[in-house]
A and B are shown apart, each in its own frame.
Chain A
């Protein structure tokens, strides 16, 4: 029962964030990178529900980003990156003490590293689109946007999870 609700909650969050990222955020002319809403949502889920759900959410979100039109990159790169992000961020906190500053900074760091990882993997696999002169500004701006998004979203997703899945929060 709890697994079904967990599945639905994560599914709705992931699908909504993917669709909003490509239809609302990407067309807006943000300088540098597009705000990584999907990554922030995966981070929020990982912080709230741990590494297993975090990596599963990261995998499905990344795969959806790889598949959602107008995606043109290699299928699997986004899935791989966000799986690792979901797992790593899910492992950070063992106790229930999660300062907002720390979750925000960790999300920003994950966003920066994921942009680097996607560009690096693309470069290794011979993607002709990667422009290294822009990678640095992409890394910096995506970390900034991720921090701004994580500040309200990570606590919000935690509250949402606590409300929908009270069993997952015994304390």
Chain B
């Protein structure tokens, strides 16, 4: 009887604490009173996750399997070890080649944009039943990563950093339902807001100009925010796969397919610094048909129609020289 009462008291206390946490966190998760708790969780659990992710990586898998081989028959064990080593070497070579290709692609994007990035690996993912599309990467404040930096791969935009711990940071993917990115159509420079739907391969783009011409397979790149944060300009987001609403209707929606396959994220880059050159200004040496006043060099986060109309017909110097989406972006350039 005493035990049952004790259980009820413990239950009541713990439920009360949980409800208090929920109420405190709802008051504001960024600046609220639970911010230190979150930071503590990130500082303590981040390195643990990082260590675990390292352990489960294929390379270390191989070493573990080697050490577990039996000792009874030395010769068989030796041969098996040799075979396991060679097989694993082959496999890790494949893996290394993939990683190298990912880094190369990243590098291509970086050199095209003059972005300074930190490479990082995805080490943890939020459970699906939380409905949040967030991942943890193994780069943090020690590597120069801060809140509100863009995260990219060689294919395009992945998301933005929402919190940076000392060794790890948390990234909200663009497909998350709370994410919205300023985007523009690469061919026409029309601007709109790209928001996540919570589905892995569907983004929605709300065009600001309902009369804007829009076609299937149009490429959408980031519009860019002030100082390149949270989103650096000129990064490919996705490709129009479906158009909802007819021309002239009050709300015109395009369904985009993101360039980046979010289910196989491995190596990503965090943009520390965007290019000094503003991609919204005319290309160097590119002849401009009209002498319209060029948009102010400081990027304004609010997409003003004036800036769009005077922007060069070329979407951005970056988008046209990018590796994979570039091919589809180039024909749109007059």
Contact = CB atoms under 8 A, between A and B. Distances in A.
Given A50-B7, A51-B7, A70 B14 contact: no
A69 B49 contact: yes
A120 interface: no
A151 to B, nearest CB: 20
B15 A23 contact: no
Contacts of B19: 76, 80
Which range holds the interface residue count of chain B?
35 or more
Contact of A33 (B42, B49, B129): B129
17 contacts: A50-B7, A52-B6, A55-B10, A55-B14, A58-B14, A62-B18, A69-B124, A71-B134, A72-B176, A76-B20, A76-B24, A76-B25, A80-B15, A80-B19, A84-B15, A90-B7, A131-B131
B38 A19 contact: no
Interface residues of A, number: 61
A170 to B, nearest CB: 14
Contact of A91 (B7, B17, B124): B7
Interface string B161-184: 011010011111000111000000
B326 interface: no
Interface of B: 3, 6-7, 10-11, 14-15, 17-26, 29, 34, 37-38, 40-42, 45-46, 48-49, 52-53, 56, 122-132, 134-136, 162-163, 165, 168-172, 176-178, 198, 263
Interface of A: 15, 18-27, 29-30, 32-34, 36, 50-52, 55-56, 58-59, 62-77, 79-80, 83-84, 87, 90-91, 115, 118-119, 121-122, 125, 127-131, 134, 138, 142
Given A68-B45, A83-B11, A26 B177 contact: no
Contacts of A68: 41, 45, 49, 124
